[in-house]
Structure 1
Amino acid sequence: MGNKGQSKGILVLVLAGICALMLLSGFRSAEPAGRSGVQSADASTAAGELQESLALLTTLGGQASAPGAPLRLVLKWQGEYSGEETDEVAVQHLATRLGLDGISSADDDGHRVWRSAAQLSGGTQLSLFWSELGGGRSYCIVTLETADLLGSPELPAAAADAGEAMLQAGIAAEWNASLQAPAKEQGGTQAALLATEQLMAAELPGIQAEESYTDISTSSHSYSVPGLQRTVSSGSHSLALQLAVHKNVNADVNRITLGMPLITIEY
């Protein structure tokens, strides 16, 4: 497949994921930038909630992963934009707030998209993706990723700043975070999943598996967790955490992935 075909396929996957997440999160649009609907209190509350969640995710990852293993973290802020500025101007303003430059744009399968990326001082990769949806609406994803969370102390503050930048841009973004590492528990994926749940139970009193997924190489549970405020609705459940154990059959090694409130990267 040529490059054009690949870009079309990637865009289809991105937009499909966007639609699924919007349905899960019950997403609400922000008021346009510059209007009185942008509340700093909301940003402060979200930042505090995010810091607590990242600390908990780091603790859980350390307990569930192989000793000394690096903890890969992917954190995403994403939400819809329908403000008064044109997309081109809004993207530039958001990129400036994020400290990004060198924005590229392209027409992918009828949708105009913009991208920009930079590496922060501690090794965290910061990237911006913006896509037209049509009807005066666009969707924005700001991603922060590090291969080693414990070696990237700048990430929590940078993540909070990114959320504030999106709110200032008129985007009521929601965050999700996924942590991944070689698993402490080996053997079959279902047995490793249950053993990992026991490790997490001390940190998460009342944790309850609500949904499950299993295939030949993966076992996953999604949980309700009393006390965790960041949740998504799925049927009659409010899910706050997802755990997956995936077997790399070539290396015969289990990999864990933890998601708050759900996993949004490949297991």
Structure 2
Amino acid sequence: MQHRKLWMIGLLILVGAMLLVGLQRFQEAGQEEPEVLLDPVEAADQQLGTLYSIGQAVTADPFPMTLKWQGEWASLLSPEEAAGVLTSRLGLPGPETSMVQGRTVYGAEGLSEGFSTNLQLTQLEEGKLYAMVRLEAVGDATASPLELLREAQRTAGESLADEGVHITWNAAIQGIAWPATVTKDSPPDLEQASALSHTLEKLESKISGLPKLKLKRAEGFADEQTASQTYAVDALPITVQSGDQRVALQLAVHRNSGTGMDEITIGMPLLTVEY
């Protein structure tokens, strides 16, 4: 009887241990892995590589590229001193002043890491500045300029971040897609808008064919001259909120009535008026 009692107790302990292990495994399986947030400079480096690949996929011609770092800067320096610090770090000539919408802007232009670079610094209020660095480059069918461009982008981003600027990144490429499919005899509005939408769909197809790039439509706009669409892209780390989605890519197609060509602009995470 005693042996039977001990056996029952041992069995209960074993069953309890098995249940405990099973519960722990269930809890671990139900836990999502924590999201890994990339440093802004690292995230921009990853996104630049993808944008360059998109440019190679959608246009055979060399494509102009614009890369921007910008953000607010809480600084005890005067605007003149702050502009001097940034121009020195970027290897640009001393800043000059101009008036833009009633504000004094400290600007400088030159070459930084071999690329055309523009710096603008504006005082928002006492002790708060807004800095923007824009890099201009040209991509092509090879990847030869990409590593140099990555280094220039990294240098600019780290220069701002090291001084305390809360940096954000965006970029765009431009190019020519395909000749217009609408002739002068076609009905002007409906047919042309349909052709632009067709060009946009061709762009989507080419981009979606790249590794790990699955485009999910978020918002769109179209008229007789322009078609635009924004997308959520899980593989891209830099996003902005648009409605109830995080979007990372915007495509725009514009019909040039003079040349009859479809001009394309592709931005990450969005296109802005500066492009």
TM-score normalised by length of structure 2: 0.74
Is 1:78 the equivalent of 2:106?
no
State the percentage of identical aligned residues: 31
Partner in structure 2 of residue 193 of structure 1: 200
* Paired letter, 2:98: A
Query: Is the contact made by 2:71 and 2:166 (CA closer than 8 Å) also made in structure 1?
Result: yes
Partner in structure 2 of residue 46 of structure 1: 40
Is 1:238 the equivalent of 2:238?
no
Cα gap change, 1:205/1:120 in structure 2, threshold over 3 Å: closer, same or farther? closer
Partner in structure 2 of residue 209 of structure 1: 217
With 75-84 and 127-136 compared, the bigger mean Cα shift is at 127-136
Cα gap change, 1:108/1:208 in structure 2, threshold over 3 Å: closer, same or farther? closer
Query: Is the contact made by 2:40 and 2:167 (CA closer than 8 Å) also made in structure 1?
Result: no
Query: Is the contact made by 1:185 and 1:192 (CA closer than 8 Å) also made in structure 2?
Result: no
Partner in structure 1 of residue 152 of structure 2: 158
Q: Which has the higher contact order (CA 8 A, sep 6+)?
A: 1
2:234 to 223, 226, 238: 226
Is 1:141 the equivalent of 2:132?
yes
Bigger Rg, structure 1 or 2: 2
1:172 to 166, 174, 195: 166
Residues 54-91 of structure 1 deviation map (CA, whole Å, 9 limit, x = unaligned): 111111111111x2x01110001000112121111111
Segments of structure 2 that go 5 or more residues without pairing to the other structure are: 1-36, 182-194
Partner in structure 1 of residue 13 of structure 2: none
Query: Superposition RMSD on alpha carbons, in Å?
Result: 2.1
- In the TM superposition, residue 257 of structure 1 has moved relative to its aligned partner by 0.9
Query: Is the contact made by 1:224 and 1:241 (CA closer than 8 Å) also made in structure 2?
Result: yes
Query: Is the contact made by 2:90 and 2:112 (CA closer than 8 Å) also made in structure 1?
Result: no
* Paired letter, 1:193: L
Q: Matched residues in 2 for 1:223 and 1:145: separation?
A: 25
With 249-258 and 44-53 compared, the bigger mean Cα shift is at 44-53
Q: Matched residues in 1 for 2:63 and 2:101: separation?
A: 36
* Paired letter, 1:208: K
* Paired letter, 1:199: K
Cα gap change, 1:252/1:184 in structure 2, threshold over 3 Å: closer, same or farther? closer
Q: Matched residues in 2 for 1:54 and 1:71: separation?
A: 14
With 156-165 and 196-205 compared, the bigger mean Cα shift is at 196-205
* Paired letter, 1:117: E
Query: Is the contact made by 1:128 and 1:143 (CA closer than 8 Å) also made in structure 2?
Result: yes
Is 1:95 the equivalent of 2:103?
no
Partner in structure 2 of residue 18 of structure 1: none
Query: Is the contact made by 1:64 and 1:256 (CA closer than 8 Å) also made in structure 2?
Result: no
Partner in structure 2 of residue 110 of structure 1: 102
With 106-115 and 165-174 compared, the bigger mean Cα shift is at 106-115
Segments of structure 1 that go 5 or more residues without pairing to the other structure are: 1-41
Q: Matched residues in 2 for 1:64 and 1:185: separation?
A: 13
Is 1:254 the equivalent of 2:254?
no
